[in-house]
Structure 1
Amino acid sequence: MVGGPQFADGFWRWQIDYDTAPDGWSVEDGLEKVIAPLPPGATAMTVNAGRVVNPFDPKMRGVQLSTWEYAANRKAGPMEHANLAEVAKALEPGILRFAGGLWVNGTGWDRSNAQQENYDPARKWNWTDPDTGARFPFGYWHVYNAAMIDSLGAFAKAVGADVMMQINICDNNPKMWADLVKYANVEHTYDFKYWELSNELSLDNNWQWCLGKATETEAVQEYANRFLAYRTALLAVDPTLKFMGPVTHQPWWLSAVWQETPTGGLPYSNWLPPLVDTAAKSGRILDVASWHRYPMWDPLSLSYVRTRLFDIGVRKNMVNDVMAEVHRLLQVYNSQGTQTAITELNTHVNDNIATNSNHIGALWMLDILPRYAYNGLDMNIWYDLEDSTYFELVTNNGGNTPTQIFARPTYYGMLMLSRYFGDQMVESSTSDSAEQFVVWATRDTADPAKLKMILVNMKDTAGTASINIAGFTPTNGIAYELTNANPTDLTLASADPATHTERINGVKIDTSTGNVESSINAIPPKTITGISGNTVTYALPAYSAAALVISSTGTPLLSVSSLDRAYVFLDRPTVLYLLGAGLEADEKFKLKLKSEAGQEFELEVEAKDAGSIELDLSKANLFLFTPGFYEIEIERESDGSKTTLAQRLLLTKLGDLTRDGKVSILDVSLLLSRWNSILQADLDVADDIYDANKMMANWGP
């Protein structure tokens, strides 16, 4: 099969390269599908390129900038660290977290550049209110100053990433932090969009001294109350900000559903529900729910590493189970629009641990980041970008103003995800029940003629993957293999830039100034020879990974990835646009809307231009639709290419202010809480209805 399908004269037709008969186009009804036998010892895998599962957003490649590397008055900011911006830009990180970890709980803001970084909780400074001259009682022992913020702003623009600012909630001083927003986003144009409040108050009872409460239950609610006060103060300066919390040190402290550790030890707590509940009742849901994850804490051995990083039970517990519970809680508290983020992720909680930055860590990264995205995580922060503790992707040659940057093995793993992986996760599976030989597959909205996959072999033996692909006809491809001469080395030498043997297709990345991009571009691709029909076969050594970039000579994959709006009112229908790339004006499509209750509707639509498909719901029989969330499947009529959007469409009625598919007491409460307000933020909440009688008429599901 070398071409097609094409629809002509009432039949689907395929172009066939026959072994004996003349080559040409054949009617599908007269063909018999034959699946080639699995090569001996191969692992069967499947990819459905026509079914998008979830996005793989650039923010999944987020990285942390740890503030002790740029401590005020002691060290230069990130923009002054040699060519760190050049090295980071190659990774295409969607977001930078500027954070001191637990340092932030003692950090203050000083626009005057007068405060020194103390490094010592015993030596504290106090903030003075510029309006009243009053000395704020909280004693700070760390500082963000204007010079640090200026360097961060320049660095983010050079790298092309959003910024997540971590700020202190223990001081209960929203006015000071609102001044930082003013400095960064009003007086300057740094546009720091995300603001995360404090750090790991769930760890070691940090909530006691930080929030001043006798019980953790009281402390969790106090955090939620302060969170809203901070949000109000900071939004008054910049209404475009997004806020993140509760930043637990592990996911198990998010929900009371986990009452004990897997071995029956520590009691867990319940940090997420009070925050999302308090936020939702205020009229604005939590923007982003955040937490941290480090799966190891004991001394390293290969058996321990394999259990904690590669055992499928552990990986599903920390990914599938956690994501399911977080999404369940968000739905319970009418916060389905809340995004999710891990804002610190690495293999081990301690410094100077090889797996945080060596080849094993890189393999784990290449499985765990796609796995999280596949299960609905919106953003991730790899802990961290630059340091000297073996947590980092890159290190430097030391001093207050480093002059050289060096890559550790995990830098290579992140590079694979930035250069050879797409932005839309599609359906994939492996027949390996232990999931130690896996495939993750993507489509790329910027390159719709390609299917981009990551193969990861976590086994101690070589393996061959036999990948059967639906929704895409592979014709040729190239590969980039991530290998290491001593892949199970757990000494620090395995992560040392001077001694590690991490390579992509045999190439070591040159991170010296001016050479990063040319060094990456010089990596020679390997030609994939194992393509037959719709099957791609590829062999990998033990403990290795490969990025497979597959091309097709046929029609490019249908690339439709999102909607221009998340909801439409059934009693005030409007035009909706499906956004994508590579479309042709007036191109015809079949669109199916599938509800959670099993309803299914089919509509005929057309592309408006190269980037959008128009759906005019005012022409549909909307009285047939039940309010709720609908999955959207789109099929191109010319070739039958299909895709299912990861984003669902909410069809609802006027008065559904909480956007949950029904009008209830929550909506009435929200409307009344904004009554008589002329603030734009309050008007935006109720922009769809100003008539309480209409709301009452739509009461109920």
Structure 2
Amino acid sequence: MSSDDPTTSEQPMPRGRTHRRSRTRRHIVAGAVAALLAGGGAGVLAFSANAAPTVAVTVDAGTSLGMVPSTGVGLNTAVYDAYMNDAKAASLMKAAGVRQLRFPGGSVADAYHWKTHTVTGGSWAAPGTDFDHFMATTKKVGAQPIVIANYGSGTAQEAADWVKYANVDKGYGVKYWEIGNEIPGNGHYGSKWEVDTHADKSPREYAKNLVAYAKAMKAVDPTVKIGAVLTTPGSWPDGLKASGDDADWNNTVLSVAGKSIDFVIIHWYPGGNSTADVLKTPAKIAGTTSAVRSLINTYAGPHAASVEIAVTETSSAESPAQTSQAAALFAPDTYMSWLEQGAVNVDWWDLHNGIGKPTTVDGETDYQDGGVLSVGSCSGGTCEPARETPFPTYWGIRSLTALARPGDTMVKASSANPSVAVHAVRSSNGGLNVMLINKSPQNAAQVSLSYIGYTPARGTVRTVSFTKGGTALTTATRGTAAAQTLPPYSITTLQLKPASAATRADAPSPAPTPAAAAPVASASGTIGTRAQASAAGVPVVRQVQSNTGGGLASTGASSAVTYSALGGLLAIAAGSVLVFRQRRSRATHGR
């Protein structure tokens, strides 16, 4: 899915109802203020007067879906991204709780030679994006690396030398190593976007070489984990047999190499003709995971239970929305759905990408940029915000910092209506965090919540929200643990405290603690918005300076948005546009 072929242009970046008339004016004003508070800095006040049915949400806090892994929230980086190591980008990634970075890119990985920092074929490597520079950024972010060894134009010896340099010579401790990117795209099934110089491009040849890579790399460092490239169940070319093959890609590769690997690799780009379509797709993740796990159990032998699933590329790239609000809602729903099903990590595509052909999606400009941070590029007279400005997708990912930290316990939660998604986590301090995602672009959602195995404290609750048009996460105190009103197209996380210390005894049985549970921290000294109650009980949003470790309302950017109690808006934004080489966006490969 990750096409990195360049094109030459003046643009940047590389590359995959019934109205309730009985309301009084006072009630309407109060409702407007509440909706504005939930808006997180939205320039347009968007809420519905419709009396939608209440959505019942149940949180079973006495169950355990496993612990949030230390590598759970990941992001792709690429050697063709000249801005990969920007200090501001590193600060924003750290603030978003990114704990894994993938290198050296997508398809470019099968053409990249780490020793010389050169690329075989049609892509390129920007100055200052070599492995050591990448590792320096990884350290700044507080993340762990996952590295793609060059299968397409490399050798097992080249990969083993990389392991030696990384873990023996430099002491970087790189654990996760993928053997190639999207090898089924090497032309064996007709479509070709992946570099593969092997004469035999069959799944059996890949599997044979995969075993050789694993043997050579583990001879240098026996602690490394080796990953096999699979096709995503239900997506091209899953189930296909090319001429001369006995079985499809997944069954062939795992039948040969299943006992030599430590994890399998899935890329998940769900399609959809509308934003509503793509927002439904996280519900399919359980079935996809089950199919992958069945393959592992069939072929991996006695160590099948220890073979992990890594989703090293995902995004909404095959839907209409890439930088608009629907993509922001899709991101945390996707991350949590995969992690709840046992994935060891999920890596979004990607840090920077570059503008495509801008469109309007649900009333917003969508720059069709696969990155989470802008590069300030232009297309057809439309320009992105200034470089390193977070797109809504960034804030969708950053919303996860309000929900979970590595080592927290994910618990079961369900919604009676698919238009509201829910995810819940028991924190190590006895709290319970519940993320509610309203997928309706027009209508607010009334939510009624009930709990099993947990008794929340009474009174109003702390919420952290991101709404359409927002430029920050907004912290407020509103609603109760039992009832919330969700603005349209919004992410709202309730941060609940127990009714008493005695409720901690109801904590679910924990899974083993991840080896290195890095804390989730935000950038210090940044500006955000926080809601407080006035003496009259009407919430007031105030601009605050965030210097705390949690800092969930921190924007990580220089622009600020301030609201008064009655909804006056002052928006200050500054920045310039830098235009440089544009690389073609991600392509669809035979789907």
The reply to whether TM is greater than 0.5 is yes
Q: Residue 387 of structure 1 aligns to a residue in which SS?
A: coil
Q: Residue 220 of structure 2 aligns to a residue in which SS?
A: coil
- Residue aligning to 2:66: 54
Shift in Å at residue 409 of structure 1? 0.5
Shift in Å at residue 398 of structure 1? 7.2
Q: Which structure shows the bigger proportion of residues in strand conformation?
A: 1
- Residue aligning to 2:569: none
Question: What does residue range 310-349 of structure 1 map to in structure 2 within 5 Å?
Answer: 310-311=279-280, 314-317=281-284, 319-333=285-299, 334=301, 335-349=304-318
- Residue aligning to 2:383: none
Answering whether residue 90 of structure 2 is matched by residue 105 of structure 1, we say no
The partner residue of 2:270 within 289, 295, 304 is 295
Give per-residue Cα distances to partners, 1:34-79, cap 9 Å, x unaligned.
Answer: xxxxx98211111111101233324331000022104xxxxx6x33
1:96·1:162 contact (CA, 8 Å) conserved in 2?
A: yes
The partner residue of 2:463 within 467, 471, 479 is 479
The structure with the largest alpha-carbon Rg is 1
- Residue aligning to 1:210: 196
The partner residue of 2:391 within 408, 416, 439 is 408
Q: Tell me, which stretches of 5 or more residues in structure 1 are unaligned?
A: 1-38, 71-75, 122-140, 260-266, 485-500, 510-519, 566-578, 580-701
Shift in Å at residue 404 of structure 1? 5.0
Answering whether residue 163 of structure 2 is matched by residue 181 of structure 1, we say yes
Cα separation, 2, equivalents of 1:249 and 1:44: 33
Measured at CA, do residues 289 and 220 of structure 1 come closer, stay the same or move farther in structure 2, by a change above 3 Å?
same
Cα separation, 2, equivalents of 1:481 and 1:564: 29
Deviates more, 1:143-152 or 1:329-338: 143-152
Answering whether residue 523 of structure 2 is matched by residue 544 of structure 1, we say no
Question: What does residue range 548-627 of structure 1 map to in structure 2 within 5 Å?
Answer: 548-555=494-501, 557=504, 558=507, 560-563=509-512
The partner residue of 2:141 within 159, 166, 169 is 159
Letter in 2 for 1:278: V
Shift in Å at residue 374 of structure 1? 2.2
- Residue aligning to 1:93: 98
Cα separation, 2, equivalents of 1:204 and 1:268: 18
Cα separation, 2, equivalents of 1:530 and 1:51: 23
1:363·1:544 contact (CA, 8 Å) conserved in 2?
A: yes
- Residue aligning to 2:41: none
Measured at CA, do residues 172 and 415 of structure 1 come closer, stay the same or move farther in structure 2, by a change above 3 Å?
closer
Give per-residue Cα distances to partners, 1:501-530, cap 9 Å, x unaligned.
Answer: 2x2xxxx34xxxxxxxxxx7xx4x322333
2:79·2:129 contact (CA, 8 Å) conserved in 1?
A: no
Question: What does residue range 337-416 of structure 1 map to in structure 2 within 5 Å?
Answer: 337-349=306-318, 355-389=321-355, 390-397=369-376, 405-416=388-399
Cα separation, 2, equivalents of 1:66 and 1:465: 41
Shift in Å at residue 193 of structure 1? 1.7
Cα separation, 2, equivalents of 1:559 and 1:109: 45
Q: Residue 213 of structure 2 aligns to a residue in which SS?
A: helix
The partner residue of 1:437 within 408, 420, 432 is 420
Answering whether residue 85 of structure 2 is matched by residue 68 of structure 1, we say no
2:160·2:220 contact (CA, 8 Å) conserved in 1?
A: yes
Letter in 2 for 1:240: T
Q: Residue 496 of structure 2 aligns to a residue in which SS?
A: strand
Shift in Å at residue 421 of structure 1? 3.0
Cα separation, 1, equivalents of 2:267 and 2:426: 28
2:419·2:438 contact (CA, 8 Å) conserved in 1?
A: yes
Deviates more, 1:272-281 or 1:468-477: 272-281
2:75·2:100 contact (CA, 8 Å) conserved in 1?
A: yes
Measured at CA, do residues 537 and 62 of structure 1 come closer, stay the same or move farther in structure 2, by a change above 3 Å?
same
Answering whether residue 214 of structure 2 is matched by residue 228 of structure 1, we say no
Letter in 1 for 2:135: G
Q: Tell me, which stretches of 5 or more residues in structure 2 are unaligned?
A: 1-50, 356-368, 379-385, 518-591
Paired residues, number: 430
The partner residue of 1:241 within 215, 224, 227 is 224
- Residue aligning to 1:452: 433
Letter in 1 for 2:492: A
Cα separation, 2, equivalents of 1:221 and 1:410: 38
Cα separation, 1, equivalents of 2:102 and 2:152: 19
Shift in Å at residue 211 of structure 1? 6.3
Give per-residue Cα distances to partners, 1:320-354, cap 9 Å, x unaligned.
Answer: 221111111111223221110111101124xxx86
- Residue aligning to 1:628: none
Q: Residue 321 of structure 2 aligns to a residue in which SS?
A: helix
Question: What does residue range 494-505 of structure 1 map to in structure 2 within 5 Å?
Answer: 501=469, 503=470
1:245·1:288 contact (CA, 8 Å) conserved in 2?
A: yes
Cα separation, 2, equivalents of 1:40 and 1:199: 46
- Residue aligning to 1:270: 248
Shift in Å at residue 207 of structure 1? 7.2
Shift in Å at residue 396 of structure 1? 3.3
1:59·1:379 contact (CA, 8 Å) conserved in 2?
A: yes
Measured at CA, do residues 186 and 96 of structure 1 come closer, stay the same or move farther in structure 2, by a change above 3 Å?
same
Cα separation, 2, equivalents of 1:292 and 1:272: 13
1:253·1:271 contact (CA, 8 Å) conserved in 2?
A: no
Q: Residue 356 of structure 1 aligns to a residue in which SS?
A: coil
User: Relative contact order, CA 8 A, sep 6+: which one is greater?
Assistant: 2
Q: Residue 562 of structure 1 aligns to a residue in which SS?
A: coil
Answering whether residue 53 of structure 2 is matched by residue 45 of structure 1, we say no
Letter in 1 for 2:291: E
- Given the two structures, how large is their TM-score scaled by the length of structure 2? 0.66
Shift in Å at residue 162 of structure 1? 1.0
Cα separation, 2, equivalents of 1:268 and 1:388: 41
Cα separation, 1, equivalents of 2:465 and 2:246: 41
Q: Residue 97 of structure 1 aligns to a residue in which SS?
A: strand
Measured at CA, do residues 145 and 410 of structure 1 come closer, stay the same or move farther in structure 2, by a change above 3 Å?
closer
Cα separation, 2, equivalents of 1:58 and 1:467: 29
Give per-residue Cα distances to partners, 1:425-482, cap 9 Å, x unaligned.
Answer: 21111112xx12122111123xx32100110111242211111011111115211221
- Given the two structures, how large is their TM-score scaled by the length of structure 1? 0.56
Q: Residue 351 of structure 2 aligns to a residue in which SS?
A: coil
Structure 1 vs Structure 2: percent identity of aligned residues? 23
Shift in Å at residue 408 of structure 1? 0.6
Q: Residue 365 of structure 1 aligns to a residue in which SS?
A: helix
Measured at CA, do residues 292 and 392 of structure 1 come closer, stay the same or move farther in structure 2, by a change above 3 Å?
same
Cα separation, 2, equivalents of 1:92 and 1:170: 32
Measured at CA, do residues 561 and 145 of structure 1 come closer, stay the same or move farther in structure 2, by a change above 3 Å?
farther
